[in-house]
Amino acid sequence: MSGRSTVGAQPLMPEMLNSSARRGRLTPGPARAPAPRPHLARDAGAVRATPHDLLTFLEAHLNPAAAPPAPAPALRAVRVPVLRRGLTHRHVHTVAWFRHPTDGGPMYFHSGATLGQRAFLGFRPDTGTALAAVCTRRFRAHDPFLATAYALLAEERLDPPGADGTGRAGTGQP
């Protein structure tokens, strides 16, 4: 033996090894994933914005005709449905937004979260309403934040917390 490792009939070259093997870990199998480092987490969509920035963004979506000529076509294009799913295809998605029906027309919204941060953005062209809701809290399954923001935008009445005996915000009444 020449002291060189081989794969099949070819010599094992350093670039063929995973990073763990190059550092001296020669056990077979895939390399372990590095430990998560929360301090390196990026904002949702790698977007950092103030509440004022978020409302300015939503105002542009409310009235694409008033936007500068360059972004106006894109602001209109993100309202076009690209996916319908669910029973009777009632769940509609655009490239950037979820779209739900209301009595006056469609409502567009999107929500997201990172470690300890939550956000809800939405707008209703029929009423000229935009809502940017942000909070500093971690995700919990029955947290009323999203339901409350959605109900505000949809102009639904929320039952007070605990009305259903659970201590959570209600699902809303039209």
* Domain boundaries along the sequence of the chain: 51-154
Q: Look over the chain and give the mean of its residue pLDDT values, rounded to a whole number.
A: 75
Q: Which residue has the higher pLDDT, 113 or 45?
A: 113
pLDDT of residue 158: 63
Return all residues near 40 (Cβ < 8 A) that are at least 6 apart: none
Cα gap 75→97, rounded to integer Å: 11
**pLDDT value at residue 172:** 43
Residue identified by tokens 């060189």 is 4
Higher pLDDT, 52 or 141: 52
pTM (2 decimals)? 0.64
pLDDT at 29 over 80: no
- Whole-number CA gyration radius for the chain: 25
Tokens 């655009």 — which residue? 94
**Number of Cβ atoms within 10 Å of the Cβ of 121:** 24
* Sole residue written with tokens 């929360």: 38
